[in-house]
Amino acid sequence: MDESLATAVDQLVHRHAQPGSSLLAILHAIQDELGYVPPRAVEPLARALNLSRAEVHGVITYYHHFRTQPPAPVTVQLCRAESCRSMGTEALAQHIEAHTGCHFDTAHEPGATVELESVYCLGQCALSPAMMLNGTLHARVSPQKFDTLFAAARKCVEVPA
Ligand code: FES
C-alpha cells in the first residue's frame, strides 16, 4: 500500500474514532475524504472502536454505498427504482451502456475512466429519471442530456496531450 495512503487512513481514523463514535459515521467520513474505504482501514477502526475486524468488514460489505477500491474518474449512478423505471430508466441504462461501452454494476478495471452503478432512489422521484454523475445529482435525464453531461465530465478528466 502507498505509504501516504496508509498515513491518511491512520489520520482519518484517529480524527474520527472517538469514544462513542458511530462506525457508520466514520466510514462515511473516510469515504467522503478518500473516495472509498481502503481495506487498510479495517484494523485501526476495529482497534479504535473495540470491535472485531470481522464486524468492521461486515458493515463495510453490507452497505452497497461503501467502496473498497477507488472510484473511476467518471462515475455514473443511475436510479433504477420504481419511479425512475416508470419514466424510462431501463431504456436510458441501455443507452448509457451503448454510449460508454461499459456495463452497469461490474467491477471496473484498474485505470478505467468510467464506472456505471445502479442505485435505488435518489430522492428525486418527482423528477425521474434521476442520476448522479461524479456526485452531482441530475434529474429528468434523457439520453441526449446524458450525452451532454457525460461529454463534459469526460473532458474534465482527460489529460492534455
Ligand atoms: S425512484 Fe428514482 S429518484 Fe426515486
What is the CA(152)–ligand 1 centre distance, in A? 24
For residue 17, what pLDDT is reported? Answer: 83
Domain count within the chain: 2
Q: Does the beta carbon of 141 lie inside 6 Å of ligand 1?
A: no
Contact 119, 79 (CB under 8 A): yes
What is the extent of the structural domain holding 32? Answer: 3-62
Q: Does the beta carbon of 81 lie inside 6 Å of ligand 1?
A: yes
Q: Which residues neighbour 154 within 8 Å (Cβ) at sequence distance 6 or greater?
A: 74, 113, 114
Task: Say if residue 88 is in the same domain as residue 34.
Answer: no
Mean pLDDT of 14-39: 90
Task: Say if residue 46 is in the same domain as residue 78.
Answer: no
Q: Give pLDDT tens digits for 94-138.
A: 999 999 999 999 877 777 889 999 999 999 999 999 999 998 999
For residue 28, what pLDDT is reported? Answer: 94
Q: Distance between CA atoms of 57 and 21, rounded to whole angstroms?
A: 17
Task: Say if residue 97 is in the same domain as residue 25.
Answer: no
Task: Say if residue 32 is in the same domain as residue 91.
Answer: no
Task: Say if residue 15 is in the same domain as residue 51.
Answer: yes
Contact 148, 99 (CB under 8 A): no
Task: Say if residue 152 is in the same domain as residue 85.
Answer: yes
Task: Say if residue 35 is in the same domain as residue 109.
Answer: no
In percent, the amount of the chain with pLDDT more than 90 equals 70
Q: Does the beta carbon of 128 lie inside 6 Å of ligand 1?
A: yes
Confidence category of residue 161, pLDDT binned at 50, 70, 90: very low
Most informative mutation of 79, 86, 137 for ligand 1 (most atoms within 8 A of CB): 79
Task: Say if residue 55 is in the same domain as residue 89.
Answer: no
Residue 84 grid coordinates:
425512475
